[in-house]
Structure 1
């Protein structure tokens, strides 16, 4: 074990990871977003140049977007009446972002058309506003790492360098967009839950009445 960390009961308990406890997209997103924050703060705290941790920090931020999109797609596909498969988009953020927006917007339409549930205009406005920040960050990562390889490997599948020698990016700009993007990815389901719970109640009532009539 690293000598800078004491090996005692307290640290053993601290570092004992319950990796089977948080097996959900939301759980993974929370874990990865926490790691992003810890690493960013550690760079500032230590005074080390960000180059020491740039690739894992950028990979984590990108992966948070992917997890967030997939988590929301899984939730909203229950109400959007659209296929929830993310296999076509794979690791491509542009495709996943478009799927995410499609499922949310179709959910808004279905709730109004099929259930007479209108989403508050301010809630829709907030969603579209945060989407602009997510789009900016998505476009950056799509340009830098289209297939989720460049932050993990120094060369692509054709053995070409992942980045030009003089290419730079300021991670404070990434953090600013990330902090706003993570709000949308973590809390969109909470924003819409007050509407979708009404749909759940209607569907549960229908199923209950059908069972009674059997």
Structure 2
């Protein structure tokens, strides 16, 4: 650390807990964040927010590489949770109520994907010549293998205290972000297709 950085550090305000400190307070300034009261609104913003958080954290590593070793865990967790919420929201929107209830009771990406792919098949969206569905399925399986139940990048151990094993030693965050962007595009197009099918179905009923 050079002298300039050291002096900057010394000049920073040293925060210490004080009686009367609050974590959550209202603000009408630019720092105020709205917490939506309706669950469907929260689901929409949460889904986008987790991916945006991961993208933003990766951007921080471009100029400050030392942060990579710290941020890699929340980055991967946020991307995984984005996938989970995306699949659950799509299933909630386009499948039966009985299926929706069971979907919110677990964190298994492969099970959620299997149910979602069933919906795509039902509306005739599976084109043998188009490999995008298979490509996304491979990525879902890859994520499920490294983090089966959304614990691996939140905790160092499981609920029994046993260490959680990570099969990889190093990952390319730029490649991760690029692939997640492609998957996000796939789900956006799928949502448009399913909306069209849903509208057409209601028109003829």
Instruction: Give the TM-score normalised by structure 1.
Output: 0.71
Q: CA deviation at 1:102?
A: 0.8
8 Å CA contact retained: 2:91, 2:115: yes
Comparing 62-71 with 83-92, which one deviates more in the overlay? 83-92
8 Å CA contact retained: 1:70, 1:96: yes
Q: Which residue of 1 aligns with 2:116?
A: 100
Structure 2 residue aligned with 1:83, among 99, 102, 111? 99
The count of aligned residue pairs is 180
Matches within 5 A, 1:51-66: 51-66=69-84
Structure-2 change in CA distance of 1:88 and 1:19 (3 Å): closer
What is the rounded CA distance, in whole Å, between the counterparts of 1:17 and 1:126 in structure 2?
A: 45
Matches within 5 A, 1:135-150: 135-150=137-152
Q: Which residue of 2 aligns with 1:20?
A: 36
Structure-2 change in CA distance of 1:131 and 1:15 (3 Å): farther
Greater share of residues in helix: 1
8 Å CA contact retained: 1:66, 1:93: yes
What is the rounded CA distance, in whole Å, between the counterparts of 2:196 and 2:157 in structure 1?
A: 47
Q: With a CA cutoff of 8 Å and minimum separation of 6, indicate the structure with the bigger relative contact order.
A: 1
1:187 paired with 2:189, answer yes
What is the rounded CA distance, in whole Å, between the counterparts of 1:178 and 1:158 in structure 2?
A: 32
Question: Structure 2 regions of 5+ residues with no counterpart?
Answer: 1-11, 14-26
8 Å CA contact retained: 2:88, 2:103: no
Structure-2 change in CA distance of 1:202 and 1:179 (3 Å): same
For the aligned residue pairs, the C-alpha RMSD in angstroms reads: 3.1
Question: Structure 1 regions of 5+ residues with no counterpart?
Answer: 4-10, 110-122, 204-214
Runs of 4+ in 1 over 3 A off after TM superposition: 81-89, 123-129
